[in-house]
Chains A and B, each alone.
Chain A
Amino acid sequence: GAVVSQHPSRVICKSGTSVKIECRSLDFQATTMFWYRQFPKQSLMLMATSNEGSKATYEQGVEKDKFLINHASLTLSTLTVTSAHPEDSSFYICSAADGGGQPQHFGDGTRLSIL
């Protein structure tokens, strides 16, 4: 149980492109989803907390207009990196929690490479 699916797993695109990443909870309803960014050999940096039906809460220093988050249902949250540039290249991981006291479960991550 507690499977989180993240798609796509890998994206390579040109500078200026907007990229959408999906995070789905497959066998539970996720009241809260989290988006992290991870640089090589570094820790997971929380970008934002996403609650179903409400605006995401962004961490300090994360541009909300750059990283658009939509949590439209209890099983889906999306992260859109708008007008991506090479410095946005990174590993993006989502996690989801069911609100019932269970721990966060992570997706497989998306490796984003902007040329």
Chain B
Amino acid sequence: GENVEQHPSTLSVQEGDSAVIKCTYSDSASNYFPWYKQELGKRPQLIIDIRSNVGEKKDQRIAVTLNKTAKHFSLHITETQPEDSAVYFCAASRGSGTYKYIFGTGTRLKVLA
């Protein structure tokens, strides 16, 4: 069935360092890949997304790369700050919005001051 694997499950970095979270999806029909940040007890918030017709997208300190052939996509956070500490979820979908998302298992990122 449809599955998204996410690694690592926990990640600790020093403030200012970079963090990379990787996901692999199984459904070859997936063409939309959002990333959500969730702080404890709060709603997931979209931080960046990418569609299958591009290989990379960047928004300030955050970037996402996509390798469709390998069915891999990754989140890159540069110059990490303590407020980046949260749980990050990747997801894969056959379309944005009205299509269901298959979420990864989450990565707990801790940025050490």
Residues of A within 8 A of B (CB): 4, 31-32, 34, 41-46, 49, 91, 93, 97-109, 111
The chain B residue sitting closest to A97, CB to CB, is B97
Q: Bound complex: CA of A104 vs CA of B95, how far in Å?
A: 11
Q: Bound complex: CA of A103 vs CA of B49, how far in Å?
A: 9
Given known contacts A42-B105, A99-B98, A108-B43, what 15 new A-B pairs fall within 8 Å (CB)? A32-B97, A34-B100, A43-B104, A45-B103, A46-B102, A93-B44, A101-B96, A102-B97, A103-B49, A104-B46, A106-B43, A106-B44, A106-B45, A107-B43, A111-B41
Q: Is the CB of A103 within 8 A of B46?
A: yes
Select which of B43, B89, B97, B100 is within 8 A of A99 by beta carbon.
Answer: B97
List the A side residues contacting B98 at CB < 8 Å.
Answer: 31-32, 97, 99
Instruction: Tell me the minimal C-beta distance from A44 to chain B in angstroms.
Output: 5
Q: Bound complex: CA of A107 vs CA of B43, how far in Å?
A: 6
Q: Is the CB of A44 within 8 A of B100?
A: no
List the A side residues contacting B105 at CB < 8 Å.
Answer: 42-43
The 3 closest A-B pairs by CB, nearest first: A97-B97, A32-B98, A106-B43
